[in-house]
Each structure stands twice: as structure tokens, then as C-alpha cells.
Amino acid sequence: MAAALELVLREEVAPGALVHWLKHDPGRRSAEENHIHEKLVSLSLPQKDFVPFFLNFLREQTGQILTNGPSTPAKTPNSKALGNSAGRGSQRRGSERRAGNTTGSSSSRMQLFTQKGSANSCSPDTSFAPSAVSGGSPAFTGSNLSSPSSDFPSVVSSVSPSFGCSPVFNHSERRSAQKANLGNFFVAMPEVQPTRRGRRKGNSSTSTSSRQVARDLGRCLADEEDGKSDNTSWSGGRKKRNEVLGVSASSPPDQLNLNNLEEFPPMCASSGFTNKSKPSRRINPTPVSIERPLSKPKMCFTSTPVSQSPAARFPSGASHEAFVTIQEGNVASTAGSSLQEEREMLKKERCKLLHQASSPAGLSLEPSTPTKLSYTRSASLPPEGHLMTCAYLSKVSCKKQLDQLALLYSSCIAENLVPNIFLELFFVLQLLTSRGISAEDGESDLEFNQGCKGAVERQHFHNVHNCVYFAVQVLDRQYELISHLEKGTLKLLAENERIASFSPHLHKRLRQAYESSTAKVSLLLPSSVQSVSFQPETDNRSNFPSDRAFHIFKKQRDIFYELLREWEDNHEKPAWDFERVLGNKIRAMMAHLTATCNHSHFARLFQKQIIQMCKGPVGGGTSWGDTPDQDVLNMLGCDDLSRLKRLQERFVAPQSIRGPCPPPSFPGCQQFFRDFILSAGSYQFNQHLMDNLCLKILELDGLTLVEHEPSDGEADMEEQDEKKHFTVVLMSLRLLAKFLGFLVFLPYRTVEPPTRDLHESAVALRNQSLPVLDVLKLLQRAIQGRRTILTIPWIVEFLSLVDHIAPFLDYYGTVFSLLLQVYRWAVLLTWYVCCGIGIPRPPGFGLHVGCLPVDLGVSEIQGSMVPSEDKEMSFLNKLLILAVLGWLFQFLFQIPSVPEELFFTSEVRQDGLMMDTMSSAQALDSATLVDQQLLYTCCPYLGELRKLLASFVAGSGAKNGGFIRKITPTAAESLAPKPSVTQQKLQAELEQAFFHNQPPSLRRTVEFVAERVGSNCVKHIKATLVAELVKRAEVMLQEKVKEDNTNHDKLLDEVCTQLYEEGAQAFLKGREFCRKKGPEAVRVLLPEETSAAVLSSAEDIAVRLATEKACTWLSTNITALIKREVRTTFSRMLKIQGPSLPSEDTQEMKKDCPPGCQHHAPFPSEIINEIKDVLCIAVGPRDGDEAIHYAHLECLLEKLSQTLQCRKFMCPTSEQQLAKCTIELASLLVSDRIPIQGLELQTQKYPERQRSKNHPICNLLTSLLSVWKEDFVMLVPVQLIFSKKNVGYVAEAKQREWDLFLFMLHGLVEYNLMGNAEIESYLQSLQEFAWPSDFLKELETLSRVFESELHIEELRTNPCELVRQSLGAVTAQS
Amino acid sequence: MKLSKAQYEEIARFLGHVQPTRQSLRRLKERFPSQSQSTLLSIFSQEYQKQIKRTHAKHHTAEAIETYYQRYRSRVMKNAAAPVLLELANEVDFAPSLMARIVLERFLQEQEQGIPATWLAFGNEIQCTWLRSQIIKFPSSKTLINSMLRDPSQIPDGVLANQVYQCTVNDCCYGPLVDCIKHAIGHEHEVLLREMLLKKNLSFLAEDQLRAKGYDKTPDFILEVPVAVEGHIIHWIESKASFGDESSHQSYLQDQFWSYWNRFGPGLVIYWYGFIEELDCHRERGILLKDCFPTDIVTLRHSMAQH
């Protein structure tokens, strides 16, 4: 590989040709046919190894200079083995991180692709253990290196298979000898001994040494004949690097001449010399000895187990020492070889540690930054004061080589040959902003690289100037890409003084890009209502098999939300533990669900709730507190919401991102759902949930956007709607897919990677089962249908949760390789052209790119077509796909034992993804759907680029954490609350809330109507107003042309300006149109039964949205539209010559009550209560003189009447009770049981009635009778008067005055409440009870009276007359 | 009327062990003249119910029942006109209505199943045990007893009928009359609320409509078009014609309000007779408390502009 690079550096082969070589498929056409450069052909190297080699080469070369910002994760050298098994989550301990950080300060960023070596080997207990296997190898390899006939063949071979390990990838088997370990990427040349790889593995396993690899390689190539001991050569290589470090650590030049090749011979040259010179030191600087095995691998790309104790690795003492030195390599110059110097080194080291400790605001505080930002930076930073190194174009050395490298690198990026283009971009920006201390200016490049035989081993990046130069070169070539980044990043790039000074041209372009960019990104989405609303269609009783099931589900729903609320309240408290607090509750709930088979209902609720709560990009971290506090709003005096939002996200959003390649996680609310699933541990539930998720995913994946005629005007507007819709669907899909992936791979999750045996059997077993969701088919379909922009992002989310084994299954292997094809292919179409890289293109290059058959065993894909330029994916669409795929690849490589071949395999054939010709609505890829907002929402880690740049601007980044956020304080006078903002916000919320409990179709309808009406409105205005204006313009123009036929443009402008004012009418007309059409459409589309209020609100919202849409479009486009129309007309001529207004709300009036009732009557409850009080007193016990005033009773009856008349507040039970109570009251009155005050007064008032002192009571009774008769609606059970109890009162009446009773009975007849016969029969039956004899007699008499009255009644005489007569008779008798 | 927790506790302390009679109520009113009567009554009732809940079990042991019944019988023999049952209830700190129920039930057992009252008093231990189990096992039909309590005329024994009636009328916390008043009050406030909603032109679905649609939990009113009250969006309104004290509010939250929230989103609860201020702590999360119909209502602007 080095040879290939060498050719480029020597300019014998153009980078373009190399890239072409990389891409050509040896299997399909011969090299000649493909126009491969013959020099490359003659090297006969496997192409696949070049890119990893090259990337490592760059990391290696730039290692010591890169001190700024977090290391690109890919460059952490070691052990993916540790990584993914244990690294997830909590295992990442501070100490580990710290240790790793310090070690890694330089080393960790060095190596992009280390071998994975023993990743598969089996010791589960410590992640380092595997290196025991490989650990030996460095030593042997060393020897092997020089002596091709290995001394330890067995070891080596035992290592190699473990590396290749995947039976699925049979090529690995085939080449196992070669690819054996670490180096499969680097080691490409046949003449290089495979054994060397073993050594390299050793290198990589010592984190510090790994970056040396590429250089070592180069040296080895050169020095191979020397046959020197590899131990030495190895340490020699080490030393070489240390030289550089020594310089950067500002050791005085006179002390040591690091560039002295005698003292510090390049890698293989030094032989025993170094060996001997090694001091016998055992002091391990703290950072090195504490490895950080678990956390680091997470971030790393490939894996090599590290940090085994040196002794275990090095069989010989000498090499052991070498190793120790190497471990310290980043700080200590081994070359000094004096104890004194080592002490110096230690001092420095300690100093650095102190320095780190003293900057608490450092980046290390950022949550889970596996990239160990602060340490990386501060460890290699010189003490404050020299933080910035100025970069000068004039000081750049070996420009030519840098140009070549930049070109090659750019091409690799442009051709998607790198696994993650954004990672590379991050790396480039690191170079751009590097603060590393360069070698002394005086040192010439020549001197520095003296003795290097090959161009490859030369130090091209030994100073900041070179790094910056290279970075700017690359950036220049990636302009197209970076110009699509969000505005803030562009601003920082445009303001970057290094770019300005190194490439004014690029600077200018960036400025322009910044100025024209509209790509503002905000990472907070508006919040929504939180619970899933109850929808009768799916949730009411008829959806359940039994009442019990329905009832239980009712409870489950409530329990579920209770759990959710508890989580919400407490999960951030330190001692709170999900499983401990909620685990049993959840399982109890699951048991209930199982008992009633309600899982499917609950799964649906669960899934809906996930979407409801987690759609937001930050995973609803702030969840229901999302909306800013009212007080805060007022306090800030924000005049618009967006400003507040921006401010808020400055506080909240950026901090939550973790490095440029964070592992998949469940942030915010998603955590609840994940933990819920885990705690529930219910097979049934999981299955139902998976079904549910699959269903929803399939549904959403089938999204079709409203087909729009790409006609001139409103394309803009409709695009907006589509984008919005698309965004929502995409975000939901990603979310659901992540959970599906989680569930699908959950059973296979293991903490430790499986041993090889287990691995193989697991693969064999699992190859037999079908996937839960056929992502492969969906992916193929998406590619065919050109809908990858929707499908790939969620498939990536799904796959990001694979377990250790899954990538090795045939099925997922196929999926990955298909994704890889897409990744490669996504570029081929335009990128190359866009980037405008001046790579000489061999004939045919770039032409064969279009269509390649997907050869995956599923070859039903038919119909091929080379995507024509205009139909291909939009740039940002592609960017999104590349970003997510890059992230996935990057992440996958962190899984131990996932072979990088997955990515770098040359078997990715670039000939044939085929697609159908689809209607434009189906083929989402060609629509411009993705904007920066969506891109950054899906890939928040892209924001790291901005952070990096920002920290550079901030200058003393190490001290303050680097990311200064400037917040402009708001003026004091604006502190007064501005209701308009809150009102505005409230209105927006109200509108959202309105839809919440309505069926989803309502919202869809309203949105649909709004969209259509808005669009139609524009059309209408074009057809009427604009057409009219154009006609008038035509007339005007015709006249003017006659006058002055010279300056048409000016003429046109004049006329148009006149028309613009009239164009303003468009808003009025638009508004009118929407107001008219919107409600009509809504009314037609909504169910007939929709209530008036809902209908009118829906109409209003539709009208408002439509008006907004139309007016927004009109306001930005109307003048342009007029102008364009007029111009067309004019040229043709020359050839021949807006918020809504509310609609009426229908009012619903209540019936009942007498006309004109004011509903001021006392409440029934009051009356009942008052009667109750009277009854209490009557029934007793009562306090001595307690009595009721007559007037009170009178008044009570009056109120009773009123109350009964007003029906408003009456309910049947009240009325019933009133009836009963009043009868009771009547009975008590009749029997004189109520102590009444003021009776005498009453009798005096009416002297004419003096005959009977009972008259006042008769009045009351009459009132009662009247109320019973007139005011009650229900039938009053007056017969209760004859109940034994009530008659008993009468019987016990003290004064034996029963005339009131008689009066009462007659009244009943009089008021037609009872008939004489009825009364008579009641009286008869009463006689059967045992009464006092006198009362019994009375009853008999009464009975007779009514009997006779019955007769008289039959004679049809006036009843009133008779009553009076009989009353007289009765009184006479008694 | 909102009460602070301290205010409320003062009232609750005063209520301590008072009997649920109108006399107690009068004293309460005199003691706290500034509070509205309905609020006081509501608190009184709730506090009393809490007390009864605590002691309920001890009045329902077979022994207790038997004792009460015997005592009732012997006293009634002496003076049927005296408020025997009521006094008995007061003596043992039990609600008169509930005492009436116990005695009535026992009375019916004696009548229907022929379990003479004397048996327990004079039988041997085995008999007694058996009898006790019978008493517990075969209660008279609930519906019959309820119906007799509602209308004591149905009670075959005239004296007992009067005694029972006296109890139910005098009890201001339990009993059919009180239940009915509570029901009426609840209803009236719902109507009031409905009126206010109509007056404000807020369209809503009422409970019965919701039930007809098959909703499993139904607040009094669901607003078809949500509004904002004091800056908080609400979807539903629940009317509570009682005082919102801690325990009742907790159980309402558990059984009703959160359930509504779970289904319909945030909402408003009106405690017409006031509540403890401190309980209004879920505003942010979506349960708003008021003691009257809110005045600060913001509607979706479109519909507001027309008026």
C-alpha cells in the first residue's frame, strides 16, 4: 500500500488514477479495459487495503500536531473488543476515561484502522485478555519482520483465523493468512511478510505506538533487506515519533538533536542500538497504566485489545522495556535515554495533569465524551500563553506532496471510499484548527526528513502550516459539501482567518455561501400534548372481547401513565432506580394484560406514546417542560418566540451531543420506554409491540407525498408542506425502527462478545430463522423505487442496535453490503461532478456508474435505468444518507469482530443498482426533502463540526471549555410582560390541543384542505388578478413600445412597478378566496355529525392555514410572478409583436322552564336542605324552645314553588325527594307536630277567619296542595300520607284535632290529586291497624264521609259545595 | 374559596369528634363565620366521613351489632317516644343513619330468619358462634334495607320506623336525605357549569354523550375546542360540588383526574366549595384547580373574534 502511495507522492501516478484503480472491479474487467495505470497494475495490490492504509497514514502523520478538539473517534486505536461488549453505558468510568485520555492524547487519535486481531478470542473476563494472544505477536512479529521465516508460526496462525473469523465472509477465510491481523488494511503487498502483521498488531495494541504503523511500514519497506531485529526497529519507529513529540513538548533543541539520525534512527534502522540504550525504567506514568479498556473501544473503529500488562506481551526483557518506553512515548523521549531526562518527562506529565485538574470547565465535563476531549487537548497543549500557533502559507513545506495527498484524500472522500465522510471532515477541521506546536521554523523540511528513503515515510505534517495548508486544500475541494452545512458552521468557516490567509478564493466562496445560506438549524421542536387521546373507534368497549378485558385495560392505561409520571418526576434524582421502583409495578401490569390478552391494545398505546413523546430530536429531554415558562418569557421580554427558542437551544441542545460519532442511545423519554420494555420482560408484550412497530413502520414507509405538478408557481409552497410531512414521517420511522431494532436484537444481546465457537454455532443457528421485519426487501424496494431517503435513515437506526452476531448472518450481511453499495453509489452520481475536483478522468470513468444489478440472490429486480442527471437525488438528501450510513459503519466497526471488510471490501461492485421509472410522487429521492434542519436533527453529531470551529475561535479553548456561547443580554426596558407573545404562544398551543382529542382524520382533513385551498388560492389569483394585470400590462406595453422601442428592460420594469401596487390586492383576494372555499371544503369533507363548534373551529383553522400559506407565498412571489408573466407576455408580444375570520357559531338554546324564566329560583338542594331542617325540628329531638316561624314556612313553600317551576337545576332525584319531604311535611303539619311561632299573629291578621285557629295552617296546606298539583312535573306520591307512619302522627296528635286531616283529604280531592274512592279505600285499609280507639272511630267517620261524597260526585254536583257541606257535617258530628 | 393548608387544618381540628347534627353545624358556623356555610358543611362532612371510615369496622362486629340491638330494644320498651336510636348512635360515636341501618338490619334478620334476639344473649357458646356466623353470612337484602331507609313507612314496626326516620333526618353527613342533597348539589353545579360554558360559547360534550360514544372514563365536560385558562390549556372540566381536601383530592386524582388526563390531555377541576390551595400543584402537568368558573379564558382566536 505504501508503494501505491509512494507512487502518488512521487507524482508518478495521478491521484485520480489511483482512485480509479481503487474503484475498478478486478473481477469484471481487466485492468487494461479499465484503463488502470500500469504502475498500479504492476503493484498488484488488493485495492481494498489502500484506503485504510491511507487514512491511517494521515492520522499517523498528523498525530503530534493535532491537539485541538476531541480526537476523531475513529482514531482511537484500540480494542473494539472491549468496547462494545462492555463499553455501553455505565461501564465507562471516569478513571478509565482519564487514563485512556491521557494515553490517548496523541496516540488515541492516531490510528484509524488497527487490526482487530484477537477481538474474537475468548476470554470474557477482561477485555484485554485477548491481547494475550496477540500480545505475543508484537515481539515475534518484530522478529518475523526481519526474518521472513517466522520463529513463531503457530502463534501467528492462531491469531490470524481468530481475526478473520467470520464464516459468512468467505473471502476472509480465503485470505486468512494475509488478513490475519491488524494490518489487513495496511499490509497489502505480497512481498511483505504476513508475519509483519503480527507485529503491527502489537503496535496497535499499545495505544501509543499504533500511529507509527504507517510510517513503520514505510520504513520497513525500505529497510527490509537490513534484516535488523524487529524489536529495535520497532522501537526505532517509536523513537522517530518521539522525536517529534519531543519537539512539540518544547525540549530545548540543544539538549537533544531529535533529528539526528544517528541518535534517532528511523524505524528499522536502529537495530540493537536502541535496545541497549533503553533505560531500565519501570515507572509507568499514571495515565498510561490505567487503561480505559471499556470506554474507548466504543468510539473506535477497529479494535485491538490494548493495555495488557507489558510483561505479558513481551517475552523478552528487552522488548518489555521497549514497550514501556513506548507507552510513555507520547510524553517521554526515549531517545534521551538518560534518567535525568525521564524525570523531566515525568515532571512535565505531572504538570499537565495538574493543568488539567485546574481547568474544571474543561470539556471533560461534557457527559460521556468517549473522545476525552479535555485530556486530549490539555495533555498535549503547552501551558497557556502559546495556545495559538499562527499558521503561515509561506512556511508550508513540501507543498507538492501535500497537494497530491490533498487531492487523493479529497477524491477518496468524494468517492465515498472512506467509511464516514463527516468523520474525515471533522479530521480536516481538526487539522485546520490545530494548535500544535510546530517544529522549529528554522528546520527545513529536508533536514527533517533526511534519511527517509521513501516519500511515504517523510513527515509531511510536522508543522501547523502544513496541516493547515493540507486542510484548506481539502476543504477547497469539498466546498460543495461544506457549503451545505448549516449557517452557523459556515459563519465560523467564513470567519476563519486561516482559511482566509491560505485560500482567499475559498474564503470568498465561503463568505458567499454564508451570506446566501438560509440553513438555520434549531434543535428544538415544538412540544405537543402528552397523552395519547382516547379514540372510541379503537378504544371503546366493542374493541374488547369482554367487559372484564375492557375494564382491565382501562386500569392499565391509567397505571401506565402513572408510571410515566413517576418516572418523569423522579428519574433524574440520583438514587432513583427504574427497576427497583417501577419494575414490580410494570410486571404486575403485564400479568394483568396477559390474563386478559390485552397486549395488543397496550402495545398500540405504548407505540403511540413513544411517537407522542419522543419525536423531538433531543428525545424530549426536557419533555413536558418543553415550552418555556411563562415567567421566563415575560422576563426576557422576547418579542418573538423563535428568539426565545434559539436562546433555549443554546442552553440545552448542544451540550447533549457526544462526539462526532456517538453510539446509538435512548435519550430523554426514550429511556423510559426502553427501561419499561426491559423491566416488563414480557415475551407477549414484546411480540405485540414488535408487530405493532412493524406495522406502523410499514405504514409510514409507504408514505406517498401529495403529487404536485411541478408547475412554476406553487411548487415552492407545496414543497414546504411535503418537507414538513416528510420530516415528521422520517423522524417517527427512525424512532420506531430504533425500538424495533432494540426489541429484535434484545434476546441476543450479550455483555461480552461470544467466543468463536459460540459465535459460529450462533451464526449457523440464526441463519435458519427469518427476520422479523424484512428490511432487506424494504431496502431493495426503496432502492428500486428511489425512496432511499426515507427508508435508509430508519434502517440505519434499526441496524445500529444489532447484537454481536447479527452482522455475520447471511441476511444482515446482505443488508450491509447493499447499504454499502448505496453508500458508494450515492456519490457516484453527482458528487464527483459537484466537487469539481480536478481528477483526470480516464475514458469511461464516471460513465459506468449508474446501473449495477443488485446481485444479492434476489434478482427479481427488473428494469434498469441509468438515473439521468436531473432525476437523481438532491444534494442534501444524499448528504443525509451518507451521514447516517457513515455513522452506522463507524459504529459497526466498534462491534468487536465486525470485520472492516464490511466496508472496505473490494467486492462492492459498482455495477448495478437498478431502479424503476416511478412517478415523481413515489420517487422521493429526487424531491428536495431534506434541509439542514432535518439533516442536523437526524445527525446531531454533525454539530460537532461547529463546536470544533467555535472552540478554535474561542481561542483559549482549553481553559474555558472552548465553546463560548455569546448571549446578547436583553435590554432592561423590555422586561415588561408582553402579552402578545404569550397570547401568540397560547394560540398555537390551543390549536394543537384542539386536534388532540379529535380523531386523527380531522387534522388530516384540515391540513389537507388548508394545503389545497392555499394552493388553489394561488392558482386562482394567477388566473384572475395576475392575468388581468398582465392584460393591462400588455396594453400599456403596447403603447409604450410604440413610443420608445429601445430599452425593453426598462420599459418592463416601469410597467411592472406600476402593477406591483395593484398586486397587493392579491392578499385581499387571497384571503377572501380562502375564507370562502375553506369552510366549504371542510364542511363537505368532515362527517355530517361533526358538532357545530368543532366544525367551525376546524373551518377557521383550515382557513387560517390556507390563508397563511397563500399569503406567505404571495408575499414572496407575487412581484416576481407578475414580472415573469409580464415578461413572457411581453416577449411574446414582441415576437409577433391573504388570516381567517370566524364563521358563525350556531347557538344551542335550552328548552324547559316557563317563558322568561331567569333561573333565579333557589336550588333544589337548598330547598331540600331547608325542609330537612324543618323536619328535624318536627321529628326532634329539639332544644327547649326551638321553633319555626310561620313566615319562614310560608316563605319556604313559596320558594319551593319557584324552584319547582324553574326546571333548569332540577333532576329527577331532587324532585322525588322534594315530593317525599313535602308529603312528610304535610303529615307533620296536619298532626300539629311542628312547633310554629307566630301562629297567633296570623290568626289576628285575619280576624274574619277567627272561627278556626287552624286557618293559617290550612293556608300552608293549600300551598302544598297547589305545589303538588301545579309545580311538580312528576306524579307526587300523595298516597304516602296514608302510610302507617304518617297516619300515626295524626293519631298521636295531642289535641285530637283531626279537622286538619280532613281538610287535607278534601284538598287532595279538590286539587284532583286523588279521587274520593281512592281516599276511601286507603282509609278503609288503615282501619286494619291497631289504633287508639278514638282515632279508629275517626277513621271510620272519615271513611264514610268520602263514601258519601263519592255518591254525590256521581250525581255530578259541585264538589266544592259538597266539601263545605260535609266538612260542616263532620265537625258537627265530632 | 381557597383555604391554605393551615386554615383548613384549624377547621379540621375543631371538628375533631363532633356529632353530625345540626347543632354541631351551628357551632361550626359560629366558630368560623368568615367561611361559607357550604364550605364548612362540606369539610364537616368529609372530616366526619374520615372518622367513620376509621371506626366503621368496630361497629360491624357481630358483638357490636348485637349489643346495639339489645340496647335499642330495651330502651324503646321503656320509652318509645324518646330518640333512642339517635342517642344510641351519639353515645357510641357513630353516624345515626348507619346506626339505624345496623339496627334495622338486625331487626329484619330477627323477623325474616327467626333469629330471636335472646338467643345470642342466652345461648351457649357454640350456638352463639353459629348465630354470629349466620348474622354475618345472611344479611337481609341490601335493596330492601335501602328502600326502607329511604322510606321508613315500609318498616313493619312503627316505632322502629319513627326511630329510623328520626335518625336519617337528623344525620347531616349520612343517610338517604343527605345523599340526595349531595346528589342534587352535584347536579346543580354541573348545570351551572353547563350554563356558564354555554354563555361563554364554549362547545362541549357532556358526560352522557361521551358515555354513549363508548368512552371508558368520562369527565363532566369535554371541550370540543380546547381553551386556555390562566395560560394553561384545558380539554375537559370536572365539576366537584365539594371542598377539595387532601384525601378526597388524592382519590379523585387517582380515580378520575389522571385518567382524564391520560385520555384527553390537561383539564380543569372546579371545586365549588373551595380547596386547599397547596393541592393546586399539577398545573404545569395539566390539572388545574379552581373554586369558581374561571374568568381568564382564552379561546382559539378565530372563534373569539366573532363575538
Q: Which of residues 1075-1114 of A touch B (CB under 8 A)?
A: 1091-1094, 1096-1097, 1100-1101, 1103-1104
B297 close to A (CB below 8 A):
no
User: Other C-beta atoms within 10 Å of A1195: how many?
Assistant: 12
Distance from the Cα of B77 to chain A's closest Cα (Å) equals 18
Q: Which among A832, A677, A685 is positioned nearest to A742, based on CA atoms?
A: A677
% of chain A exceeding 70 in pLDDT: 54
Split chain B (307 residues) into runs of 10 and give each run's mean pLDDT. Answer: 88 81 83 87 89 88 86 88 88 89 86 60 60 62 84 85 90 88 90 89 85 84 89 91 92 91 91 92 90 88 45
Angle at A591 between CA A588 and CA A593, to 5 degrees: 115
Last residue of a domain, one of B30, B56, B82: B56
Any residues with CB less than 8 A from the CB of A457 and at least 6 apart, and which? A215, A218, A219, A222, A266, A267, A449
Q: Which amino acid is present at A203?
A: N
Distance CA A726, CA A969 (A): 37
Distance CA A831, CA A698 (A): 31
Residue B282 included in any domain: yes
pLDDT in tens, A334-357: 444 455 666 666 666 655 555 544
More confident residue, A917 or A700: A700
Q: What is the distance in angstroms between the CA of the first residue and the CA of the last residue of chain A?
A: 136
Residue B246, beta-bridge partner list:
none
* Residue of A551, A1100, A1209 with shortest CB distance to B188: A1209
- pLDDT band (50, 70, 90) for residue A52: confident
Distance CA A1310, CA A1313 (A): 8
Q: For position A262, what pLDDT does the model report? A: 46
Most confident of A27-41, A375-389, A534-548: A534-548
Q: Which residue of chain A comes nearest to B191, CA vs CA?
A: A1209
Distance CA A859, CA A836 (A): 35
What range defines the domain where residue B195 resides? 178-299
Last residue of a domain, one of B109, B142, B174: B174
Distance from the Cα of B113 to chain A's closest Cα (Å) equals 24
B49, B83: one domain: no
- pLDDT band (50, 70, 90) for residue A40: low
B54 close to A (CB below 8 A):
no
More confident residue, A634 or A716: A716
Distance from the Cα of B76 to chain A's closest Cα (Å) equals 15
Distance CA A237, CA A235 (A): 5
B110, B164: one domain: yes
Distance CA A239, CA A273 (A): 12
More confident residue, A555 or A646: A555
pLDDT in tens, A250-302: 334 444 444 444 444 444 433 333 344 444 444 444 433 333 333 333 333 33
B173-195 in b/e form (b: 16+ CB < 10 A) is bbbbbbbbbbbbbbbbbbbbbbe
* DSSP 3-state of A1303: helix
B26, B78: one domain: no
- pLDDT band (50, 70, 90) for residue A865: very low
Most confident of A318-322, A337-341, A626-630, B199-203: B199-203
B42, B120: one domain: no
Q: For position B249, what pLDDT does the model report? A: 94
Alpha-carbon dihedral sign for residues A1242, A1246, A1250, A1255: negative
* Residue of B22, B222, B227 with shortest CB distance to A990: B227
B33 close to A (CB below 8 A):
no
Distance CA B210, CA A541 (A): 13
Q: Which of residues 1156-1215 of A touch B (CB under 8 A)?
A: 1159, 1163-1165, 1168-1169, 1172-1173, 1175-1176, 1179-1181, 1183, 1208-1209, 1211, 1213-1214
Distance from the Cα of B1 to chain A's closest Cα (Å) equals 19
Q: Which residue of chain B comes nearest to A1210, CA vs CA?
A: B188
Q: Pick the range with the lowest mean pLDDT from A35-44, A223-232, A593-602, B215-224.
A: A223-232
Q: Please report, for residues A27, A484, A1307, the alpha-carbon distance to residue A823 in angstroms, rounded to integers and kept in the order given.
A: 20, 18, 99
User: Other C-beta atoms within 10 Å of B271: how many?
Assistant: 29
B254, B218: one domain: yes
Residue B120 included in any domain: yes
Q: For position A713, what pLDDT does the model report? A: 46
For A1168, counting Cβ atoms within 10 Å of its Cβ (0-12 exposed, 13-18 middle, 19+ buried), the class is: buried
Q: Which of residues 87-146 of B touch A (CB under 8 A)?
A: none
The per-residue DSSP string of chain B comes to: -EE-HHHHHHHHHHHTT--SSHHHHHHHHHH-TTS-HHHHHHHHHHHHHHHHHHHTGGGGSHHHHHHHHHHHHHHHHH-TTS-HHHHHHHHTT--HHHHHHHHHHHHHHHHHS---HHHHHHS-HHHHHHHHHHHHH-PPPHHHHHHHHH-GGGSSSHHHHHHHHHHHHH-SSSSHHHHHHHHHHHHHHHHHHHHHHHHTT--EEEHHHHHHHT-SS--SEEEEEEEEETTEEEEEEEEE-S-B-HHHHHHHIIIIIHHHHHHH--EEEEETT-EEGGG---TTTTEEEESS--S-EE--HHHHHT-
* Residue of A994, A1141, A1164 with shortest CB distance to B184: A1164
Would you say A1271 and A1204 are in contact if contact means Cβ atoms under 8 Å apart? Answer: yes
% of chain A exceeding 90 in pLDDT: 2
Q: Please report, for residues A59, B66, B240, the alpha-carbon distance to residue B162 in angstroms, rounded to integers and kept in the order given.
A: 101, 21, 34
* Substitution target from B148, B151, B153, B298 for chain A, most A beta carbons within 10 A: B153
Q: For position A617, what pLDDT does the model report? A: 45
pLDDT above 80 (res A603)? yes
Residue B304 included in any domain: no
A838 close to B (CB below 8 A):
no
Q: Which residue of chain A comes nearest to B171, CA vs CA?
A: A1176
- pLDDT band (50, 70, 90) for residue A847: very low
Contact A986 B298 (CB under 8 A): yes
Distance CA B304, CA A984 (A): 14
Q: Which of residues 1265-1284 of A touch B (CB under 8 A)?
A: 1280, 1283-1284
Distance from the Cα of B129 to chain A's closest Cα (Å) equals 36
pLDDT in tens, A744-785: 998 888 877 778 888 888 888 888 888 888 888 888 888 887
Contact B302 A1101 (CB under 8 A): yes
Distance CA A407, CA A941 (A): 26
Contact B262 A1097 (CB under 8 A): no
Contact A536 B215 (CB under 8 A): yes
Helices (H), A626-705: 630-636, 641-652, 670-680, 683-701
pLDDT above 60 (res A724)? yes
> What does the pLDDT average to over A627-644?
46
Q: What is the ipTM of this complex?
A: 0.89
Distance CA A1181, CA A1175 (A): 11
Contact A1100 B302 (CB under 8 A): yes
Residue B145 included in any domain: yes
Q: Which of residues 195-234 of B touch A (CB under 8 A)?
A: 195, 198, 201-203, 205, 213-217, 222, 224-228, 231, 233
* CB < 8 Å & 24+ apart, contacts of A919-924: A919/A707, A920/A707, A920/A710, A921/A704, A921/A705, A921/A706, A921/A707, A921/A708, A922/A704, A922/A785, A922/A786, A922/A787, A923/A785, A923/A786, A923/A787, A923/A871, A924/A703, A924/A705, A924/A726, A924/A786, A924/A787, A924/A789, A924/A790
Residue B306 included in any domain: no
Distance CA A198, CA A304 (A): 12
pLDDT above 50 (res A837)? no
CB pairs under 8 A between A and B: 210
Any residues with CB less than 8 A from the CB of A299 and at least 6 apart, and which? A73, A74, A76, A83, A370, A371, A659, A661, A894
* Residue of B201, B235, B262 with shortest CB distance to A561: B262
pLDDT above 60 (res A1049)? yes
B101, B200: one domain: no
Angle at A1092 between CA A1090 and CA A1094, to 5 degrees: 65
* Substitution target from B199, B215, B224 for chain A, most A beta carbons within 10 A: B224
Would you say B100 and B164 are in contact if contact means Cβ atoms under 8 Å apart? Answer: yes
Q: For position A638, what pLDDT does the model report? A: 44
Distance from the Cα of A1334 to chain B's closest Cα (Å) equals 19
* Substitution target from A997, A1170, A1224 for chain B, most B beta carbons within 10 A: A997
Distance from the Cα of B124 to chain A's closest Cα (Å) equals 37
* Residue of B83, B205, B213 with shortest CB distance to A1180: B83
Which residues in chain B have Cβ-Cβ distances shorter than 8 Å to A536?
213-215
Distance CA A1050, CA A1040 (A): 11
Q: For position B278, what pLDDT does the model report? A: 92
A976-992 in b/e form (b: 16+ CB < 10 A) is eebeebbeebbbebbbb
- pLDDT band (50, 70, 90) for residue A742: very high
> What does the pLDDT average to over A326-333?
39
Would you say A1292 and A1231 are in contact if contact means Cβ atoms under 8 Å apart? Answer: yes
A227: left (phi over 0), alpha (psi -120 to 50) or beta: left
pLDDT above 50 (res A311)? no
The three three-digit cell numbers of residue A19, written as one number: 482512485
B206, B226: one domain: yes
* Residue of B166, B215, B302 with shortest CB distance to A1179: B166
Helix (H) / strand (E) element for A1236: namely strand A1236-1237
B46, B70: one domain: no
* Substitution target from A567, A994, A1006 for chain B, most B beta carbons within 10 A: A994
pLDDT in tens, A485-520: 888 888 888 888 788 888 888 888 888 888 877 766
Q: For position A658, what pLDDT does the model report? A: 55
> What does the pLDDT average to over A1000-1005?
84
* Substitution target from A544, A613, A986, A1074 for chain B, most B beta carbons within 10 A: A986
Residue B143 included in any domain: yes
Which residues in chain A have Cβ-Cβ distances shorter than 8 Å to B177?
1168, 1172, 1217, 1221
Instruction: For chain A, give the number of residues.
Output: 1374
B115, B145: one domain: yes
Which residues in chain B have Cβ-Cβ distances shorter than 8 Å to A986?
228, 231, 233, 298
pLDDT in tens, B98-126: 999 989 888 888 777 665 555 555 556 66
Question: Interhelix angle for A194-205 vs A153-164, to 10°?
Answer: 70
Q: Share the mean pLDDT of chain A.
A: 65
B197, B132: one domain: no
Q: Which amino acid is present at A1008?
A: F
Last residue of a domain, one of B142, B174, B206: B174
Q: How many domains in chain B?
A: 3
Which residues in chain B have Cβ-Cβ distances shorter than 8 Å to A1168?
177, 180-181, 184
Residue B305 included in any domain: no
Residue B22 included in any domain: yes
Helix (H) / strand (E) element for A1189: namely strand A1188-1189
Distance CA A881, CA B145 (A): 75
Which residues in chain A have Cβ-Cβ distances shorter than 8 Å to B155?
1285
B111, B149: one domain: yes
Q: For position A555, what pLDDT does the model report? A: 86
B167, B253: one domain: no
A999 close to B (CB below 8 A):
no
Contact B152 A1285 (CB under 8 A): yes
Would you say A1011 and A1109 are in contact if contact means Cβ atoms under 8 Å apart? Answer: yes
Q: Please report, for residues A138, A179, A265, the alpha-carbon distance to residue A161 in angstroms, rounded to integers and kept in the order given.
A: 17, 9, 35
pLDDT above 50 (res A860)? no
Instruction: For chain B, give the number of residues.
Output: 307
The three three-digit cell numbers of residue A1167, written as one number: 330547598
More confident residue, A1142 or A1329: A1329
Alpha-carbon dihedral sign for residues A1238, A1241, A1246, A1247: positive
